[in-house]
């Protein structure tokens, strides 16, 4: 299906859908998806860290293809979703039927706590081993962690193509960039913690980055959308470790995107069917849809699956680092290791946490 045909079909489908979003207490937003004319469909409760607008095309296509299933979609922050999922696993909160999170280390922990239901299908069986764990967790996306910068305010020669270049920039131009480099607050963002932790395992530059962030009073703040808007407005000049899928989800003015040449991290959001799910059969049906050629195409058109031809051609495959969905991520959940890591983070950012 071409992009134009897909968009035309989506517009037609949306005309027959009930879609409403509003703030709620524990969640950031909630939306309802159902096919036009569907009578008493089975309601599937999906809790996810993915912005509603970005996953909406896939949700829309699924309910149109399966009119006997409707979806209640709740958007959560990763830390809150992890806590809620643990509570549901322990029987002290209502369970979702599907949990999807960018905090993959947190999802591994839930599986390790026996909170997931196993499932095997033709589609799950064909996933690479690095994108599934124990037939209870599956990576449904492929998204890069990128550096973004304001092209109107940052000279091209300052745009850091590697972490070494970013370190050098913070040393040479500390006054110019003081308070105007941003990244995720790892205490508020499970995704931010995961990216920072992987950097600490991967790069010899991590200690230098912390030192550089401290030197320029870098800002640690919440949420991809907030960081992207901040760079676009010129509040920040550069942002580090931002999800490229969110940058590509809408047109932006004066926004440059860099895949770091030393290495670029790639994340797969993790999909889990909780053991306490009431609609496990429909949850598995939704998983297979997302992993099917049709579902993958829709996710790719939403920039959630980045194919090789969509990656910066100057980035060699040897510099592409995929975060595996495996037991090694549980190291990031070790209480003492996390406390030590967060302490260093607080010492770096101090009052610049927002």
pLDDT at 269: 97
pLDDT at 19: 42
| pLDDT score, position 17 | 42
For 144-266+324-352, the fitting CATH number among 3.40.1190.20, 1.20.1250.20, 3.30.300.30, 3.40.190.10 is 3.40.190.10
Residues 6+ apart with CB under 8 A from 299: 58, 140, 141, 290, 305
Give residue 41's pLDDT: 84
Q: What is the pLDDT of residue 26?
A: 65
Nearest partner of 277 among 100, 96, 99, judged by Cα? 96
What kind of fold does domain 3-142+268-291 have according to CATH? D-Maltodextrin-Binding Protein; domain 2 (3.40.190)
pLDDT, residue 312, reads 80
Structure tokens at 120: 């095997």
- Which residues of the chain carry a pLDDT beneath 50? 1-25
Contact present, 284 and 118 (Cβ < 8 Å): no
The phi, psi pair for 188, rounded to 5°, reads -100, -20
Q: What is the pLDDT of residue 202?
A: 83
Following DSSP, what letter does each residue of 134-187 receive, concatenated? TTTEEE--BEEEEEEEETTTS-GGGS-SSHHHHHHHHHHTTTTTTT-EEEE-TT
Q: What is the pLDDT of residues 78-125, one digit of tens each?
A: 999 999 999 999 999 999 999 999 999 999 999 999 999 999 999 999
Instruction: Decide: residue 334, CB within 10 A, 0-12 exposed, 13-18 middle, 19+ buried.
Output: exposed
Q: According to the model, what pLDDT value does residue 352 have?
A: 57
Enumerate the H helices of the chain as residue ranges. Answer: 3-15, 52-65, 78-89, 104-112, 122-125, 163-172, 190-202, 206-215, 224-233, 244-248, 280-291, 293-301, 335-349
**H or E segment and range at residue 328:** none
pLDDT digits (tens, 9 = 90+) for 35-69: 887 777 899 999 999 999 999 999 999 999 999 99
DSSP-derived letter for residue 130 is G
pLDDT of residue 203: 76
Number of neighbours of residue 202 by Cβ within 10 angstroms:
15
Separation between Cα atoms, residue 251 and residue 274, nearest integer Å: 36
What does the pLDDT read at residue 1?
Answer: 39
- How many Cβ atoms sit within 10 Å of the Cβ of residue 166? 26
Q: Which residue ranges make up each domain of the chain?
A: 3-142+268-291, 144-266+324-352
């Amino acid at each position: 299906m071409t992009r134009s045909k897909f968009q035309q079909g989506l517009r037609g489908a949306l005309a027959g859908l009930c879609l409403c979003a509003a703030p709620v207490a524990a969640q950031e937003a909630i939306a309802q998806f159902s096919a036009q004319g569907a009578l008493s469909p089975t309601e599937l409760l999906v809790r996810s860290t993915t912005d509603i607008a970005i996953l909406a095309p896939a949700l829309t296509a699924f309910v149109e293809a399966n009119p006997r299933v409707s979806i209640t979609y709740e958007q959560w922050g990763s830390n809150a979703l992890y806590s809620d999922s643990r509570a549901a696993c322990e029987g002290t909160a209502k369970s979702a039927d599907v949990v999807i999170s960018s905090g993959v280390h947190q999802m591994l922990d839930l599986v390790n706590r026996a909170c997931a239901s196993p499932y095997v299908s033709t589609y799950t069986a064909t996933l690479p081993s690095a994108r599934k764990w124990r037939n209870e967790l599956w990576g449904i996306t492929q998204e890069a962690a990128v550096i973004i910068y304001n092209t109107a305010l940052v000279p091209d020669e300052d745009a850091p193509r590697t972490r070494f270049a970013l370190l050098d920039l913070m040393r040479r131009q500390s006054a110019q960039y003081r308070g105007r480099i941003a990244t995720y607050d790892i205490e508020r963002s499970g995704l931010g913690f995961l990216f920072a932790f992987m950097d600490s395992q991967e790069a010899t530059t991590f200690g230098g980055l912390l030192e550089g962030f401290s030197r320029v009073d870098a800002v640690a703040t919440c949420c991809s959308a907030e960081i992207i808007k901040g760079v676009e407005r010129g509040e920040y000049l550069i942002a580090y470790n931002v999800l490229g899928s969110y940058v590509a989800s809408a047109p932006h003015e004066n926004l440059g995107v860099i895949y770091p040449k030393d290495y670029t991290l790639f994340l797969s959001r993790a999909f889990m069917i909780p053991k306490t799910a009431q609609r496990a059969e429909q949850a598995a049906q939704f998983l297979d849809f997302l992993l099917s050629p049709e579902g993958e195409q829709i996710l790719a058109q939403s920039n959630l699956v980045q194919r090789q031809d969509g990656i910066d051609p100057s980035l060699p495959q040897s510099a592409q680092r995929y975060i595996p969905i495996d037991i090694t991520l549980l190291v990031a959940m070790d209480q003492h290791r996390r406390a030590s890591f967060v302490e260093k983070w607080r010492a770096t950012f101090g009052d610049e946490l927002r």
